[in-house]
Amino acid sequence: MADIAFLLLIFFLVTTTIASDKGIALLLPPKPDPNIPPPEFIKNQRNIFKILVNSSNKVLVEDEPLTDYSKIRIMVKDFVLNFGKISAENDQLILTLSNSQQKYVRSSLRKSDSSDSPTEAVVSFKTDRGTNYDIYLAILDEVMGAYNEIYGERIGLTAEEFRNLDQKEPSQKSLYDLAREGIPRNVSIAEPSKVGGN
Amino acid sequence: MGKFKKKANVSQEIPTSSLPDVIFMLLFFFMVTTVIRESDILVQQRIPQARELNKLERKSLVSYVYVGKPKKADMGTESRLQLNDVLAEPKDIRLFVEQEKSKLQEAERDQITIAMKVDREVKMGIIVDIQQELKEVNARKVLYSTTKKIEM
């Protein structure tokens, strides 16, 4: 009896895992310093990918209404990897991408009316105080997914494999750094407008 | 004389052969019946789903904040914030974060992560208010707690 009990005890000890929480991680911007006036950002419109959501959860992407959020992922990917400016830095950065990405960038992107380079490209996401949280999260998910796919494809992984890279392990950390080098995750979450209330 | 010295021929020891079994039974009983204390959640929690999930690295650095409609009808229908066991206002979060930070080691205090468990019907207004307060107390790492979306 005691043996069986022991076996059971050890079996359950080994097989139980405490569920770890998962979610979308985000780093908030630091509190603006009152002594330093906010810097005047003058950015070309073509370097900003605008996503607006109003208080009735209607979405406007690049000034066009959109109902299928899954399209945002492809749009953001095309926007970030557009490399619109013809410059030596851009050409070098393109060479660090994977072959399929290089081919895609050269054949169908590099448009003059989209972002100059991944370092310049900013995804601006603005909601209203009355926007539903799940819509906000669904869109944030797509934007994050677009960046993860770019990083993953660059080093020959899927977005999910890229996300699961363990940064504490040196070999995986270097892979992670390689994937992110030169392509910052520029997602700007603007303070919402105050129309809908909460 | 001999009459009084007569001993009963019965062993006086308590049989202990089943003691391990009894102890085990007790162990199992307490293992099964104990629940790790969690704060009672006073707000509705229907956690939204997403695909791009990050795992939390260190659980000790995480503090939970719950947002949703109060479960009890007499608390109104407006979305509320729950800290520990009580409903609170967004401004109370500063004190909460300071308390949580004081539980951590000095070097780790800036790495505190606030996991937000938010009901899917909450409006962005309260989320933004909470984030403003978090910025004020320099707790900038936020995790929107979600469950994994099953791909169709």
Q: How is residue B77 written in tokens? A: 């229908």
Tell whether A17 is within 8 A of chain B (Cβ): no
List of chain B residues whose C-beta atoms are within 8 Å of the C-beta of residue A23: 50, 53-54, 56, 115-116, 143-146
pLDDT at A147 over 70: yes
Pick the residue of B124, B131, B136, B145 with the most A CBs within 10 A to test the interface with A by mutation: B124
Q: Output the CA torsion sign for A56, A59, A64, A69.
A: negative
- Output the pLDDT for position A130: 84
pLDDT band at B133 (very low <50, low <70, confident <90, very high): confident
pLDDT at A196 over 70: no
Q: Nearest Cα to A82, choosing from A60, A62, A108?
A: A108
Window from A57-61, A91-95, A148-152, B119-123 with minimum mean pLDDT: A91-95
* Cα B88 to Cα B81: distance, rounded to the nearest angstrom: 5
pLDDT band at A197 (very low <50, low <70, confident <90, very high): very low
pLDDT at B2 over 60: no
- Output the pLDDT for position B6: 66
Nearest-CB residue to B144 (from A1, A23, A196): A23
- Output the pLDDT for position B7: 65
Q: Nearest Cα to B123, choosing from B84, B51, B70, B67?
A: B67
* Chain position carrying tokens 């399929």: A100
3-class secondary-structure state, position A61: strand
pTM above 0.80, yes or no: no
Q: Are A128 and A54 in contact (CB under 8 A)?
A: yes
CA of A99 vs chain B CAs: smallest distance (Å): 25
Q: Is B124's CB within 8 Å of A2's CB?
A: no
Nearest-CB residue to A24 (from B50, B62, B119): B50
pLDDT at A89 over 80: no
Tell whether A195 is within 8 A of chain B (Cβ): no
Tell whether A144 is within 8 A of chain B (Cβ): yes
Task: Enter the ipTM.
Answer: 0.73
Q: Which residue from B minimizes the CA distance to A194?
A: B125
pLDDT tens figures, B55-109: 777 778 888 888 888 888 777 778 888 887 788 888 888 888 888 888 888 888 8
Q: What is the DSSP letter of A78?
A: H
Of A161 and A19, the structure prediction assigns the larger pLDDT to A161
* Cα A79 to Cα A125: distance, rounded to the nearest angstrom: 14
pLDDT at B19 over 70: yes
* Cα B77 to Cα B121: distance, rounded to the nearest angstrom: 11
pLDDT at A198 over 50: no
pLDDT tens figures, A90-113: 777 787 787 888 888 777 777 777
Of A4 and A45, the structure prediction assigns the larger pLDDT to A4
Q: How is residue A66 written in tokens? A: 């959109």
Q: Is A141's CB within 8 Å of B147's CB?
A: no
* Cα B139 to Cα B115: distance, rounded to the nearest angstrom: 11
H and E: helices and strands count for chain B:
4, 8
Window from A63-67, A69-73, A142-146, A165-169 with minimum mean pLDDT: A165-169
pLDDT tens figures, A5-36: 788 888 988 888 776 778 888 888 887 777 77
pLDDT tens figures, B20-65: 888 888 988 988 888 776 667 788 888 888 887 877 777 788 888 8
Nearest-CB residue to A145 (from B52, B62, B78): B52
Q: Nearest Cα to A135, choosing from B127, B3, B65, B54?
A: B127
Those residues with Cβ within 8 angstroms of residue A191's Cβ, 6 or more apart along the chain or in another chain: B128
CA distances from A19 to A11, A178, B32, B45, B55 (A): 18, 31, 18, 17, 11
Tell whether A58 is within 8 A of chain B (Cβ): no
- Output the pLDDT for position B5: 67
Q: Count of CB contacts below 8 A, A vs B?
A: 139
